[in-house]
Amino acid sequence: MRPRLHGSEPPWVTLLWWLDRWRGVVFAGLAIVYVIGLNGRWRITSDSAWYVLQARAMSGDPSVGLDGVALGATPPGLPMAIAALGGGAGWGTSLAMLAVAGLTLWLCFQLFVDHADRPTAVLMTMLLALSGLFMEMTHSLLTELPFMAGLLLLLWGHERRLNRKGHLGLALGMMLAGVLWMAAFRSVVAVVGGAYVLAEIIHVIGRKDQRRLGVALIGLAVAGAAALWGLVPAVREDAMFFRYALQAKTPEAWWASVQMLMTEALPEAVFGQDVPPSLAWPASVLVVVAALMLLRARLLWGVLVGVLLVQWVVFLSDARYVLPVLPLVVYGVWRCGVSLLGRWREPWRGIGFVVGGLALVGANVIAVINLVSEQRSGDFYAEYRSGKYAAVMDMAEMIRRETPEDAELAVFLDVGLELSALSGRRLILQTQASAASGCYWVTKESPTDEAPPLVGTVTDQRSGEVWGLRGVE
């Protein structure tokens, strides 16, 4: 039975129970927004082009590949899914990613139902769905969203195990399924495994009654890490890069990595869009502190966020890398905000709650509206990335028209993977390109006073014939 609310109740209590009462309407409205955002178009990026190329290689397409780079260096989950859905980006992959987004939101809801209560679960699920980053990843062909689903399944199983809710075997099975699902999509599963082992060691030290199970889980995690090392080349490559980064980074490079995380990646992930540097630093510091204070709510959550923060600084930070732990970060911010505002008196408590809520949700809602508007644009590729890929698609069409199917491209632009995926022509490394190789060179020419800039030219290295494509002025 829900409590009867009065004017003296803190505003967050009123919000929680109002959301719970109208949760069906809230979820239905969010579902409609996500369906409206569907357009069956490929939000082209170099990473997604790489996955498409791998999918076509798995399907046995002999014209696809990248000489000198092993196609098996990436976990096979997403390329296999793309191959099963036809080998390219379109309505099949768009609907599949939407289904994964729905699954992820459901897992988020179940996790917070077991950790806190249903009203809190409704709020956290709504905040995740209103995230500009989550909306963008739903309509993108990247690995972060499916990886996030696996992570939430692991965390849900861990929560049920700690709360002793249901059969222990089911909880452990959920955790194992989550790990296997993550391993199929991203090598960063090794980092999650390291965070889990660290959290279990701390937990075992403090809880003698669960020592045997904790030690057994640590052993299984170590065995799983060894299996990943042997079976997934990407894990070994990332470990080598991690060691190299630790050895090669100068103090200036370390500081630049911290700045990128605190002024670009983290604010964009939490608030849905770029934040001015003068506001980004204090906002990011507060977010990091709030997220690390999750150690008091659930040890694994705080350890996981802390380990990933280190990984982002060592490797590379990007807003989309934050997505898998975004619900935990937002929950940490919510907990700290409510704890702080609980010490204030009215009317400042209510004012602070409204201002904080608008800061967290307002920018994300604007980002969601902008993205849906872009998705529904009549000329999508003229709007997407300021029209960058509209010209690339025109060039790919020209390459298909003017070159044989077995042509090889040496692309001296930053869109080589995209051109290869769009044109269906094999891409070779620039270092292997020569006038005698018989390949086609794709280069960019400088504009002249008499003519607008060319997006690029395609040159037949045997005949010397040149085709040019004018860019959009």
pLDDT band at 456 (very low <50, low <70, confident <90, very high): low
pLDDT, the chain, mean: 84
Residue owning tokens 């996500």? 34
Residue 206 has pLDDT above 90, yes or no: no
CB 331 within 8 A of CB 298: no
Residue 452 has pLDDT above 50, yes or no: no
pLDDT band at 433 (very low <50, low <70, confident <90, very high): low
Residue 270 has pLDDT above 90, yes or no: yes
> Between these two residues, 50 and 471, which has the higher pLDDT value?
50
HSE-CB for 318 with a 13 A CA cutoff? 6
Instruction: Report residue 335 CA to chain centroid gap.
Output: 24
Cα separation of 221 and 210, whole Å?
Answer: 16
Query: Across 73-87, 320-334, 450-464, which has the greatest mean pLDDT?
Result: 320-334
Pairing relation of β-strands 440-443 and 466-470? unpaired
Is the backbone peptide bond immediately before 404 cis, with ω within 30 degrees of 0? no
- pLDDT computed for residue 371 by the predictor: 95
pLDDT tens digit sequence for 50-103: 899 888 888 776 555 554 444 446 788 999 999 999 877 889 999 999 999 999
CB 51 within 8 A of CB 141: yes
Amino acid at 275: V
Pairing relation of β-strands 408-411 and 426-427? parallel
HSE-CB for 225 with a 13 A CA cutoff? 16
| Six-digit token string for 33 | 């927004």
Least confident of 14-23, 196-205, 210-219: 210-219
Pairing relation of β-strands 426-427 and 440-443? unpaired
Mean pLDDT, residues 35-58 taken together? 90
- pLDDT computed for residue 139 by the predictor: 95
Q: Residue 256's closest CA among 312, 338, 196?
A: 312
Least confident of 117-121, 391-395, 434-438: 434-438
Per DSSP, helices labelled H in 116-188 are: 118-129, 132-138, 144-163, 168-183
Mean pLDDT, residues 305-333 taken together? 93
- pLDDT computed for residue 65 by the predictor: 53
> Between these two residues, 424 and 143, which has the higher pLDDT value?
143
pLDDT over 90 for what percent of the chain? Answer: 44
- pLDDT computed for residue 436 by the predictor: 45
- pLDDT computed for residue 21 by the predictor: 95
| Six-digit token string for 86 | 């036809």
- pLDDT computed for residue 78 by the predictor: 93
Q: Tell me the β-bridge partners of 442.
A: 411, 458
pLDDT tens digit sequence for 240-254: 767 777 777 788 888
Q: Residue 81's closest CA among 108, 37, 39, 48?
A: 48
pLDDT tens digit sequence for 280-308: 999 999 999 999 999 989 999 999 999 99
Where residue 386 falls (left for φ over 0; alpha for ψ -120 to 50; beta otherwise) is left
The domain ranges of the chain are: 11-44+89-375, 387-470
Query: Rounded to the nearest 5 degrees, what angle is found at the Cα of 40, between the Cα atoms of 36 and 46?
Result: 120
Residue 420 has pLDDT above 90, yes or no: no
Cα separation of 357 and 362, whole Å?
Answer: 8
